[in-house]
Structure 1
């Protein structure tokens, strides 16, 4: 079962947060909504989506960040495997 997590932030922090989430590597889908809850942008992240394929998505997120104020990011994460070792802090 996929888990969902929501973050509320301002547009200027949007691109930074998206890059952090992508770097985590276990993200399946990211949805960006405005403060009224209307979906603005949604994109899937498949395993192996890197470099040149991410550039247009990040450019669109950067342009969006310049236009909106407060927004929410909903992140759908891949389920962790039962036998996968837990990361220690």
Structure 2
């Protein structure tokens, strides 16, 4: 089962937040939506993802950040097992 969490932020902070989330390592999927809730980009984040694979996604997120004023990131996390 996955846990969803959302963050609302300004476009200029989008790329930094996505990078932080990827570095956490327990993320399954990231979705970026505009302030009206329209989905702009969704991408899976797999375990062991290498920089060469994620670089094009980060480039797209960076370009997107230049055009959106406010956006919401929805993160689907792996449920931690205890």
Give the structure with the larger strand fraction: 2
Gaps of 5+ in 2: none
- Number of matched pairs: 82
Written as runs of structure 1 = structure 2, the 5 A alignment for 1:5-84 is: 5-82=5-82
Cα distance in 2 between the residues matched to 1:50 and 1:12: 24
* Partner SS, residue 66 of structure 2: helix
* Partner SS, residue 28 of structure 1: strand
* Partner SS, residue 54 of structure 1: helix
1:85 corresponding residue in structure 2: none
Q: What CA RMSD, in Å, does the superposition of the two structures yield over aligned residues? A: 0.6
TM-score, structure 1 as length reference: 0.90
Gaps of 5+ in 1: 83-89
Larger Rg: 1
Q: Give the superposition deviation at 1:50.
A: 1.7
